[in-house]
Amino acid sequence: MELEEDPVSPIEAVLASVIKLNVQPSRDGSRKRHQPLTLLWAIGRAVRGEERMAEWPELKKAVAGLIRKFGKAGDAATPQYPFVALHNTRLWELSEPPPRDHHLTWLNSADPPIRGGFTRPLHDLFTRSRAAADLVVDQLLHDYFDDADEAALLGAVGLADVAAARRDFTGSLTYNAMVARRGEQAMLRRLLINGGARCALCGAELPETFLVAAHIKRRTDCEERERRDLDNVAMLACTLGCDSLYEHGYIKVSDGGLVELSPELVGHPRLHEHASRLAGRAVAAWSDSSRHYFAWHATNVFRTQARDEPRQDR
């Protein structure tokens, strides 16, 4: 899987693949946990900086143990299924292509052992970005392990620090949302800063501490799908004024990508002074893919005044 070739961001591609995992139903009708457990185990390895490809005998033992402990009631400890099935996703690769059937025989008799693990770009992403790993862990926990002992599970895959952070909170819903939110902020900021530590609105190049990932469309108004549209739903804005001016609707980005000032600024000379240097600036974050987020902001957040009133700030 060449993550770089994707039209979406790497983390978005990973989350999409995780969400789309083709998982068999368990006896109780819920989804089996074989693949999610294998992924969690492999994320733990990546986060600890261990080797990307694991040999079948090692994975077999570890994942069988996880299935016994954290699988659905009645699930057989059959690590060969996820080991081979994940090969059909864009997340995972095997050292040799699997035969059509008799996977267990093939795996148990191969010499040297068959190895499997995350694709190179994905392993590298988890190794260098803890935020990316946490985001995927959170997605897996949310989708598959609602009624599981999360702390025990995370401890078992070597992600005990995540478990410890989780225990500090009470009320799992709030706390899950917080963890997801924190991971997302960190991820967004990192992705955006990779494109250059520059404010999207005023264009100033600044130390990273003065830049935040600002949602172009207010985050709480985004649908889940939009929240995950990491490449387009956010921009880097400076905390020296641009982030607040945009968030509170004193500036907008017009359909065409230029900064426009709110007529309301005329009542706030100091704010106006601050904002006036932004007027007419071309915003690089504006594109065919992000324009609808800017349009949402212009309609719902931007401070306008009645059409027949003269625009005194021009």
Residues interacting with Zn ion, by CB under 5 A? 199, 201-202, 238, 242
In 52-170, which ranges are continuous DSSP H helix? 56-70, 80-85, 103-109, 120-128, 130-144, 150-156, 160-167
Minimum CB distance to Zn ion smaller for 64 or for 214: 214
Reduced to 3 states (helix: H, G, I; strand: E, B; else coil), residue 105 is helix
- How many CB atoms sit inside 10 A of residue 311's CB? 12
CB of 273 to Zn ion, least distance (A): 15
Minimum CB distance to Zn ion smaller for 154 or for 237: 237
Residue 296 CB-density burial (10 A; 0-12 exposed, 13-18 middle, 19+ buried): middle
CB of 296 to Zn ion, least distance (A): 21
CB of 161 to Zn ion, least distance (A): 35
CB of 18 to Zn ion, least distance (A): 35
Element (H, E) at 235: strand 234-238
CA distance 43 to 160: 12
Minimum CB distance to Zn ion smaller for 132 or for 242: 242
Minimum CB distance to Zn ion smaller for 54 or for 202: 202
Minimum CB distance to Zn ion smaller for 23 or for 193: 193
CB of 200 to Zn ion, least distance (A): 8
CA distance 59 to 80: 9
